[in-house]
Amino acid sequence: MNQERLRVLELLSQGKIDAKEAATLLDALGDSRSAGAEPGSSPAATPGAPAGAPRYLRVLVEGETGEDRAKVNVRVPLALVRAGVRLAALLPPGVHDQLNKALKKNGVDLDVSKIRPEHLEELVEHLGDLTVDVDNAREKVRVFCE
Amino acid sequence: MKLPPLVARVQVRTPARSFRLWVPLFLVWILAFLLLVPLLLLALLVALAFAPRWRFGALLGGTYAVLCEARGTNVDVDDARTRVSIALH
């Protein structure tokens, strides 16, 4: 969280502004962030990504509660995902077919040849504002960017 | 210049004991580089002979980029008794 957002929340907690004003200010900060007009908000931004863009893809998997509770926490740099997508785009079509077959065999119905770096940027852009939560009786999965 | 991960931190915690290991990956890269140079030359010749449409240089660059961008990857696996954490720096 950047300094401006913290300041707004402090003002709210001190009662100097009300919730409506805080929401307006946070919205305005959000807009300037998404437009990349806030230099320095992300001290070490990912190369090739707009300033303030998320840097990591986080996947949290929490197993069933109780004695056998298991938790997996994976943090992958988005730059790695971007590099992977760029590499996939360079692979010859024959390799794409083999990859698609292998993915399908493992339950992932995906055409690798159709994934383009610009699609990933779009996905990352949306994941910045969104958290994917998958909940069932046995496990909880959360996917988000940070 | 971008570099691949130079060190991996492996941390294991069990009720009995816990330890942290810093694995010097840069030593592995040096050894791998010595092995890979002749192998890559061979692969380049094979690619030129049998698959001239493959963009060998770009593929090589892309693979190196994937390796470099792996820095910052962190995997934690926790169960009730054991915790294993691997981080690439």
Q: Is A131 inside any structural domain?
A: yes
Whether residues A36 and A60 fall in one domain: no
User: Which tens digit of pLDDT belongs to each residue from A42-77?
Assistant: 444 455 555 567 889 899 998 876 666 788 999 999
Q: Which of residues 19-78 of B touch A (CB under 8 A)?
A: 51, 53-55, 58-59, 62-63, 65-66, 68-78
Which pLDDT score is estimated for B11? 94
Whether residues A15 and A65 fall in one domain: no
DSSP string, B6-71: -EEEEEEE-SS-EEEEEEEHHHHHHHHHHHHHHHHHHHHHHHHHH-TTS-HHHHHHHHHHHHHHTT
Q: Is A113 inside any structural domain?
A: yes
Whether residues A114 and A145 fall in one domain: yes
Q: Which residue of B has its CA nearest to A55?
A: B72
Which pLDDT score is estimated for A41? 41
Q: Which domain holds residue B17?
A: 7-88
Chain B residues closer than 8 Å to A74 by CB: 74-76
Q: Is A48 inside any structural domain?
A: no
DSSP-based three-state secondary structure for B78: strand
How many domains, in total, are found in chain A? 2
Q: Is A49 inside any structural domain?
A: no
Whether residues A64 and A19 fall in one domain: no
Among A125-134, B23-32, B66-75, the range scoring the smallest mean pLDDT is A125-134
Whether residues A58 and A2 fall in one domain: no
DSSP-based three-state secondary structure for A7: helix
Whether residues A6 and A67 fall in one domain: no
Whether residues A76 and A16 fall in one domain: no
Whether residues A33 and A58 fall in one domain: no
Tokens (6 digits) for A47: 């190369």
How many domains, in total, are found in chain B? 1
Whether residues A83 and A32 fall in one domain: no
Q: Is B15 inside any structural domain?
A: yes
Q: Is B82 inside any structural domain?
A: yes
pTM for this entry = 0.66
Q: Is A27 inside any structural domain?
A: yes
Is A29 a residue whose pLDDT tops 80? no
CA–CA dist A117, A82 (Å, integer): 7
Is B43 a residue whose pLDDT tops 60? yes
Chain A residues closer than 8 Å to B64 by CB: none
pLDDT band of residue B85 (cuts 50, 70, 90) is very high
| φ, ψ for residue A113, nearest 5 deg | -65, -20
Chain A residues closer than 8 Å to B72 by CB: 55-56, 75, 77, 79-80
Q: Do A71 and B78 touch (CB under 8 A)?
A: yes
Q: Is B1 inside any structural domain?
A: no
Instruction: Using alpha carbons, list the distances in angstroms from residue B21 to A11, A72, B6, B7, B68.
Output: 45, 20, 14, 10, 21
Q: Is B50 inside any structural domain?
A: yes
Q: Is A47 inside any structural domain?
A: no
Q: Do A87 and B59 touch (CB under 8 A)?
A: yes
Q: Which residue of B has its CA nearest to A75?
A: B74
Among A77-81, A91-95, B9-13, B17-21, the range scoring the smallest mean pLDDT is A91-95
Which pLDDT score is estimated for A43? 41
Whether residues A89 and A143 fall in one domain: yes
Whether residues A36 and A15 fall in one domain: yes
Helix B56-69 and helix A78-90, axial crossing angle in degrees, nearest 10: 170
Whether residues A4 and A76 fall in one domain: no
Q: Is A3 inside any structural domain?
A: yes
ipTM reported for the complex, 2 dp:
0.79
Q: Which domain holds residue A101?
A: 54-146
CA–CA dist A18, A21 (Å, integer): 5
